[in-house]
Amino acid sequence: MFTTNPFAELSASVPPIVLQGFALLMLGLVVVGTVMDIIHKKNVKYFFNNAKKAKKSANRELGIGEKTAIISKTIVHDIGTTSELGLGKRRLAHVLGMYGTILFWLGSAVMIFVYSSPYVSTPNVWPIIWHVGAILTCVGGYWFWFFLRVDVSAEAHSVFRLIQADLFVLALVLSSTLGLAWSYLQFSGYNGWDTFFLGLFAISNLVLFGGVYWSKFAHMFYKPGAAIQKNLAEADGSRDNLPPPADAPEEFGLGIKREQPRHY
């Protein structure tokens, strides 16, 4: 199963061009949904206006080399390791889900566009990447969904309570789960059931990529930009027009140590 390309097996009954067309449709839905989100929320306009405003209050001008270093460090450290969450379970769950999703989507793209023909042999590494990515996404996603969500862990709501903000993570883990189920049933020869789960897998992807406008999907594009702008603002002294940190030591008293900080 882990070394079998399920898309190549599927191409015996579904032409590769159909699979590739579906993948391009998902990409198109992301682009359209993100543009609609940008127009509605005006996030990009805010970032540009904020950057212009901060530039006027900067204490010094950053050179190209320094900007490149700051941006590179932000991508590798802040974004690549989700350092904003600090050390702990939430950060680990996000890292598992993030890199699992990247591997899952990368494996899907390569196997669909390069190795989806039944006459082309798929290197074992790509099915392994696809399956491992799906598993990591499920581990990180379900860990977050059942145990680490703020409204569950801190506000005592039921794990079955659904709101619009849950659309992205729920569609993401369901897509990976149904993809794994489809691959297993196809490999095991459960005719009929594999087709059923393939349909569910396709629907979950339609919800995931088609729901960009209503979910937090677009945040994957906004957060890196916000992190880069923040670090550049700290380096040039503008600090997004916020006051500098106080020189006095932090004094919270003993009250802050009475319980674990779980109220976000």
Residue 204 in tokens: 């979950």
User: What are the structural domain ranges in the chain?
Assistant: 6-237
pLDDT confidence of 217, banded at 50, 70, 90? confident
Total residues belonging to the chain: 264
- The region of weakest confidence among 8-22, 121-135, 187-201, 240-254 is 240-254
Q: Across residues 135-162, what is the average pLDDT?
A: 78
Q: What is the largest CA-CA distance in the chain?
A: 70
- The region of weakest confidence among 22-36, 143-157, 176-190 is 143-157
pLDDT tens figures, 154-210: 666 677 777 777 788 889 999 999 999 999 999 888 888 888 999 999 999 999 998
Give the pLDDT confidence score for residue 261 in this predicted structure.
58
| Higher pLDDT among residues 196 and 40, named by residue | 196
Contact yes or no for 100/142 (Cβ under 8 A): no
Q: In angstroms, rounded to a whole number, what is the distance separating the alpha carbons of residues 95 and 101?
A: 10
pLDDT tens figures, 90-113: 888 888 988 999 999 999 999 999
Give the pLDDT confidence score for residue 61 in this predicted structure.
77
Contact yes or no for 118/162 (Cβ under 8 A): no
Residue 105 in tokens: 């989507």
Give the pLDDT confidence score for residue 212 in this predicted structure.
83
17: left (phi over 0), alpha (psi -120 to 50) or beta: alpha
Amino acid at 128: I
pTM reported for the whole predicted model: 0.80
Distances from the Cα of 20 to the Cα of 114, 130, 188, 211, angstroms: 10, 16, 25, 20
